[in-house]
A and B are shown apart, each in its own frame.
Chain A
Amino acid sequence: MDRSDVGALVQSAIDGDAAAWKALVEGLSPLVWSVARAHRLSDADAHEVYQTVWFRFAQHLGRIREPQKAGSWLASTARHESLKVIKGLRRLTPTDDPQLLDRVSEDRTPEQSLLDAEEAAAESERIRHLWQEFEELGDRCRQLLRVLMASPPPSYQEVSAALGIAVGSIGPLRQRCLRRLRARLEARGAE
């Protein structure tokens, strides 16, 4: 899904086209998930927020004012739901970084199985190190980068809606955070 198709896909979905809806889910799901994760929601909470966001999107489909900005609508709804869950403090179990890393070995996606193949062991190791350093960044950088790393990559409008920060500040912040991450990786390599 190309971001420029979003408006047309929303319109087709309103008209009852299930394939258009599926394309929207596939293209924008990683953004919604990333927003929940950027807020450090636990597995259970992230699952619930993700569902609430998509259920509400389906419900409001015909009433969304700017269909081409559905990505921003989803990001902003995911942000508000995440903040509500945090405020409600229903479950005091934020995502634990080591847990997330441990889970990799239990719950394998095809990509992981591939990675775990012997010839790819080094690559897997490199990705784990990268993730570890990323998780140890300050909250602000961690949050921004977690949203930006959604695939397909979100627009700055969507990132702005996801985190409540000005579009103009995202580029410079992103560069700074990536530089910081690179410095951590270099320091690790030098050890």
Chain B
Amino acid sequence: MDDLSATGGGEPFDAQEPALGLLDGELREAASVLDPVPTALEQLAVEAFALHDLDARIAELTFDSVVDAIPVRGAVDVPRMLTFHADGLTVDVELTGHGLLGQVLPPQTAAIEVLSGPRAGSALTTDALGRFASEEPPSGPFALRLRTGGGVLVTDWLTA
């Protein structure tokens, strides 16, 4: 399977069964014809380079109720609870079908941008207690960019 190993990624096959290598190549061809990466989607990934920001600190996701909470039997439309942490700052977020609620702790004012991609997001501001709300629930990929007195912070990207 010279053609596979030449790419540096593919792993060679057992030389005893060259027919399997052939079938593997046919599958690769079929995938690129029948289920390729949508072109517009790949373009979004190219544009995502704009999200590369060395100056912003990352607030890491430390709690996500989808994986860290025990589901309540029979409960429907349970809000998704998220917690992000960065250098002594905590951002709690609650997502429901009706919107987004959150709080910056310790309480402080911050300018918040709800990002959904490389382009500019929608702006929110906190009250004096660090609380913020939006009536538009994020759908798809999202992150929050917070501008506080201490600098700029961006949360880990998630799929809402």
Contacts and interface: CB of A to CB of B under 8 A. Distances in A.
B45 A3 contact: no
Interface in B118-160: 118, 140-141, 143, 154, 156-159
B58 A29 contact: no
Interface stretch (B25-33, B83-91, B99-107): B25-33
Contact of B54 (A50, A62, A179): A62
Contact of A156 (B11, B37, B38, B50): B11
A26 B159 CA distance: 22
A55 B51 contact: yes
Q: Which of A49, A85, A148 has the most CB of B within 10 A?
A: A148
A163 interface: no
B51 A109 contact: no
Contact of A58 (B38, B42, B51, B66): B51
Given A21-B46, A84-B159, A146 B9 contact: no
Q: How large is the interface on A (under 10, 10 to 19, 20 to 34, 35 or more residues)?
A: 35 or more
A5 to B, nearest CB: 8
Given A3-B8, A22-B46, A25-B46, A30 B27 contact: no
Contacts of A85: 159
Contacts of B42: 25-26, 29
Contact of A29 (B45, B52, B67): B45
B15 interface: no
Contacts of B20: 175, 178-179, 182
B70 interface: no
Interface in B43-92: 44-46, 48-54, 58, 64, 66-67, 80
A60 to B, nearest CB: 7
Interface of A: 2-4, 13-14, 18, 21-22, 25-26, 29-30, 32-34, 37, 45, 47-52, 54-63, 71, 81, 84-85, 87-88, 100-101, 104, 109, 111-112, 115, 127-128, 130-131, 134, 145-146, 148-156, 158, 170-171, 174-175, 178-179, 181-182, 185
27 contacts: A13-B52, A25-B42, A29-B45, A30-B36, A30-B37, A32-B37, A33-B36, A49-B159, A50-B37, A51-B41, A51-B140, A52-B157, A55-B141, A56-B157, A58-B49, A59-B53, A60-B58, A61-B52, A62-B54, A84-B66, A104-B34, A111-B36, A134-B27, A149-B30, A151-B31, A152-B7, A174-B24
